[in-house]
């Protein structure tokens, strides 16, 4: 790459205030400005103003007919790409422009005065292939099993033209390259179908060893997951490992039948390519469960029931010998809880309940259905199931209310804030790519500003992270469930085309839809962002019925204007006010 560059300049932003009025009456006395207080997040966002092509970061070969060029520049000087002025730039100089590619070598040059940067993009007629030097995706990726006499496919990805062997149950098998004509060295699929030998007892779970012979070199790999064989007529149980484990209506995962929580147990009655069909009738992915070895039962026989009421909500505790799958049906008049593979549930008293007026228990010979009749359509805020010490706990949350203190309207309200991504997961890189802040930085800065605003209004805020650390999906959801949060908000920044702009809000459960709509409206009122809509989608972190849970995409950082604006304190301030407004407006409407 040839270039003449000015000295790199990294800048931190302190922007003027663009106020949004609707929340300010709650936030501070009239005339007082708390911009710096709210935007004092401790998170430094930056972008270089050095002239630099950030995408592609080096010379590349592609079969595409066009390519998106992104980069950074001095915002005070005109910018030209192959002689054409780039007019779509962010306030701090980031840019994005799609160029058409001719066959052969294309020269891409950006210039500002005497400074320039250049990359070469070669367009070929051949689709690009990924090269490989090692074995990856070796079966099984997750812990799994098969019964004796069943067929199993040993498979992996390895360099085409190599020889691959699997050592399995005392034998060595040579895997065959699925596409024999694949060019040598590219990533190719290898596999072999084998019949599991019949066994009289469960074998020990083991990892499968794979050996790669490639260009005279030999290397050995192990599968990430373990495998065991089961006797032909022995049942195998699985246990959910995720806080939110989707159970699908079919093995293709076309539609979610229900979502169960960690520790849920059921019997496998069929399996197909990494999917298990359960006794309760749905299919679950092997990536979200683990097989159980030992003397377990999937039939839950209830021996006792108790209740635990507190100021936040009501728990109905069913003591039994298993943790059954379940399904909720939430309507205006009732909450129906289907406990699969469950029997002997007695009638449940709702005496002294602030949420329910009556209940009914029915049993169809296999499953038990508990119907809780609501006192009114607004008496139930959230619900869910937890497993504790041999008990299935049905938790029902009472609606939160605004405080009577006009300066602290959110006193008593608990909010879990989830800055998306973090640590090894940067999220979207934006137009500056690795030369500037990326999504994980934006989400943390914005979330900390939201935290400051909500705490200023009296709320208790639970953060899933306060620094650049990796947080699992389970940890993110646990932060809301264990703290009995009233709201869960996951903050993200979007990526798409260089012209896409605006905010989006996502939810899954019906009761979260009102919160999503309230947030979308508040974002429009408090910011200049385009409202792109409210959408129902099964993002992992919003699969939480314990409280209204949403994921907000604040802005597209693939757009240079959106990227640069997202760096400013004004952006975080306005979003913080929007999130506060969304909660206050929803609770005002809900309790009216």
Task: Answer yes or no: are the C-beta atoms of 160 and 145 closer than 8 Å.
Answer: no
CA dihedral 107, 111, 115, 118 (to 10 degrees): -20
DSSP helix/strand/coil, 451: helix
The yes-or-no verdict on residue 14 having pLDDT over 80 is: no
Task: Answer yes or no: are the C-beta atoms of 505 and 494 closer than 8 Å.
Answer: no
- Residues contacting residue 365 through CB under 8 Å, at least 6 positions apart: none
Q: DSSP string of 332-355?
A: SSEEEEEETTEE-------TT-SS
pLDDT at residue 294 in the model? 85
Query: Per the residue annotation, which of 242, 314, 327, 553 is the catalytic one?
Result: 553
pLDDT band at 495 (very low <50, low <70, confident <90, very high): very high
The yes-or-no verdict on residue 329 having pLDDT over 60 is: yes
Q: Region 321-347: what's the mean pLDDT?
A: 98
The yes-or-no verdict on residue 234 having pLDDT over 60 is: yes
**What digits encode the pLDDT tens for the residues 148-168?**
999 999 999 999 999 999 999
Q: Which tokens sit at 234?
A: 């022995």
CA dihedral 464, 466, 471, 476 (to 10 degrees): 10
Tell me whether residue 553 is one of the annotated catalytic residues. Answer: yes
The yes-or-no verdict on residue 15 having pLDDT over 50 is: no
**What digits encode the pLDDT tens for the residues 361-394?**
999 999 999 999 999 999 999 999 999 999 999 9
- CB count in 10 Å sphere of residue 32: 9
pLDDT at residue 32 in the model? 52
Cα(20)–Cα(268) distance, integer angstroms: 55
Phi, psi of 475, deg, nearest 5: -65, -40
Task: Answer yes or no: are the C-beta atoms of 403 and 409 closer than 8 Å.
Answer: yes
pLDDT band at 125 (very low <50, low <70, confident <90, very high): confident
Q: Region 343-350: what's the mean pLDDT?
A: 97
pLDDT at residue 83 in the model? 96
Handedness of CA 46, 519, 513, 462 (dihedral sign): positive
The yes-or-no verdict on residue 7 having pLDDT over 80 is: no
Q: Which tokens sit at 436?
A: 């500037």
Task: Answer yes or no: are the C-beta atoms of 414 and 382 closer than 8 Å.
Answer: no
Q: Average model confidence (pLDDT) for the chain?
A: 93
pLDDT at residue 282 in the model? 97
Q: Region 284-293: what's the mean pLDDT?
A: 96
pLDDT band at 136 (very low <50, low <70, confident <90, very high): very high
């Amino acid at each position: 790459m040839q270039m003449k560059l000015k000295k790199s300049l990294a800048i931190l932003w302190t922007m003027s205030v663009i106020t949004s009025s609707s929340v300010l009456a709650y936030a501070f006395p009239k005339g007082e400005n708390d911009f710096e207080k709210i935007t004092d997040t401790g998170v430094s966002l930056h972008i270089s103003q050095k002239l630099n092509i950030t995408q592609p970061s080096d010379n590349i070969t592609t079969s595409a007919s066009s390519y998106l060029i992104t980069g950074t520049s001095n915002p005070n000087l005109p910018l030209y790409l192959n002689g054409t002025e780039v007019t779509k730039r962010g306030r701090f100089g980031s840019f994005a422009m799609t160029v058409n590619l001719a066959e052969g070598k294309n020269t891409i040059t950006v210039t500002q005065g005497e400074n320039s940067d250049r990359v070469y993009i070669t367009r070929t007629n051949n689709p690009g292939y990924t090269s490989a030097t090692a074995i990856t995706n070796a079966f099984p990726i997750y812990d799994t099993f098969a019964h004796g006499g069943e067929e199993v496919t040993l498979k992996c990805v390895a360099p085409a033209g190599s020889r691959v062997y699997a050592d399995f149950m005392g034998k060595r098998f040579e895997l065959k390259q699925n596409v024999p004509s694949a060019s040598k060295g590219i990533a190719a699929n290898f596999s072999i179908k084998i019949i599991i030998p019949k066994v009289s007892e469960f074998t020990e779970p083991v990892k499968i060893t794979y050996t790669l012979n490639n260009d005279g070199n030999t290397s050995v790999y192990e599968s990430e997951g373990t495998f065991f064989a089961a006797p032909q007529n022995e049942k195998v149980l699985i246990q959910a490992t995720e806080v939110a484990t989707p159970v699908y209506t079919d093995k293709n995962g076309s539609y979610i039948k229900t979502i169960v929580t960690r520790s849920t147990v059921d019997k496998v009655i069929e399996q197909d390519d990494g999917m298990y069909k359960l006794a309760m009738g749905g299919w679950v992915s092997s990536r979200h469960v683990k097989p159980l070895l030992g003397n377990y039962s999937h039939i839950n026989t209830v021996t006792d029931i108790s209740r635990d009421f507190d100021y936040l909500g009501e728990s109905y505790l069913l003591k039994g010998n298993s943790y059954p799958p379940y399904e909720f049906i939430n309507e205006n008049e009732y909450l129906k809880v289907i406990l699969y593979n469950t029997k002997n549930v007695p009638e449940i008293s709702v005496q002294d309940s602030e949420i329910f007026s009556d209940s009914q228990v029915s049993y169809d010979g296999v499953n038990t259905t508990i119907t809780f009749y609501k006192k009114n359509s607004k008496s139930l805020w959230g619900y869910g199931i937890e497993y504790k010490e041999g008990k299935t706990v049905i938790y029902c949350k009472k609606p939160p209310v605004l405080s009577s203190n006009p300066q602290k309207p959110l006193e008593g309200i608990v909010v879990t804030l989830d800055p998306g991504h973090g640590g090894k997961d940067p999220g979207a890189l934006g137009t500056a790519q690795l030369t500037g802040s990326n999504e994980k930085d934006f989400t943390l800065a914005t979330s900390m500003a939201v935290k400051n605003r909500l705490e200023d209004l009296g709320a208790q805020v639970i953060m899933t992270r306060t620094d650049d650390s990796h947080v699992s999906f389970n940890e993110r959801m646990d932060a809301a469930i264990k703290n009995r949060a009233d709201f869960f908000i996951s903050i993200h920044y979007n990526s798409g085309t260089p012209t896409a702009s605006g905010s989006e809000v996502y939810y899954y459960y019906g009761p979260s839809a009102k919160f999503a709509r309230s947030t979308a409206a508040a974002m429009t009122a408090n910011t200049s962002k385009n409202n792109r809509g409210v959408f129902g989608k099964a993002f992992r972190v919003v699969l939480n019925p314990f409280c209204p849970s949403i994921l907000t995409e604040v802005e597209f950082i693939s757009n240079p204007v959106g990227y640069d604006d997202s760096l400013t304190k004004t952006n975080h301030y306005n979003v913080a006010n929007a999130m506060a407004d969304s909660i206050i407006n929803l609770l005002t409407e809900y309790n009216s």
